[in-house]
Amino acid sequence: MATDIADKELQTLRKNRWDAAFSSNTPSSANEESETEGDDRKATIVIEHLIQASDVAHTMQHWHIYKKWNERYFMECYGAYKEGRVDTDPSFSWYQGEIGFFDFYVIPLAKKLQSCGVFGVSSDEYLNYATQNREEWYREGNALVREYISKFEGNAGRRMAAIDEV
């Protein structure tokens, strides 16, 4: 799937395709790829990266948008843990995981989209938001994870009380 960011092999293939499409070495002989084929290759890899960006678009928008969707995803993952559907408590690694996600996925993706010019001047805005959100998360992320847990636990208590009343 185009948005499967957990597949390291797929990530390597994407990186290699990007590098091949956008390397500064252009074909010089008739035996090499035609200009049309090169343009088609670039268009295809850019579309693939646009699909990836759409999956994580909240990370390249204003802080309150990022925070809203980060909390919702945390609640989904934490809920799965609390219900026994996953073995690992995401709260233990959420803070550091987000920093790595920005450093190794979101910001490099934003830089690629900026370098190919697909969004024009808006590319700068997306990269700036991603960088600012990373810095804001670095400062506030630990407290936010604690807040998410408290909110989840409070909501779980209210859900249980509602069930008891039935």
SS3 24: coil
Structure tokens at 86: 């996953």
Taking only the tens place, the pLDDT of each residue in 40-94 is 878 877 788 788 788 899 999 999 999 999 999 999 999 999 999 999 999 999 9
CA 139 vs CA 12, 30, 32, 58, 134: distances in Å: 31, 54, 50, 18, 9
Kindly report the average pLDDT of the chain as a whole number: 85
**Contact indicator for 145, 74 with CB cutoff of 8 Å:** yes
Count, residues in the chain: 166
How confident is the model at residue 3, as a pLDDT? 55
Tracing tokens 């994870």 back to the chain, one arrives at 145
How confident is the model at residue 28, as a pLDDT? 46
Q: Provide the sign of the torsion angle of the four alpha carbons 154, 160, 165, 166, taken in this order.
A: positive
Taking only the tens place, the pLDDT of each residue in 112-150 is 989 888 888 888 999 999 999 999 999 999 999 999 999
Does pTM top 0.85 for this prediction?
A: no
Q: Is the predicted pLDDT of residue 4 greater than 80, yes or no?
A: no
Confidence of residue 159 (pLDDT cuts 50, 70, 90): low
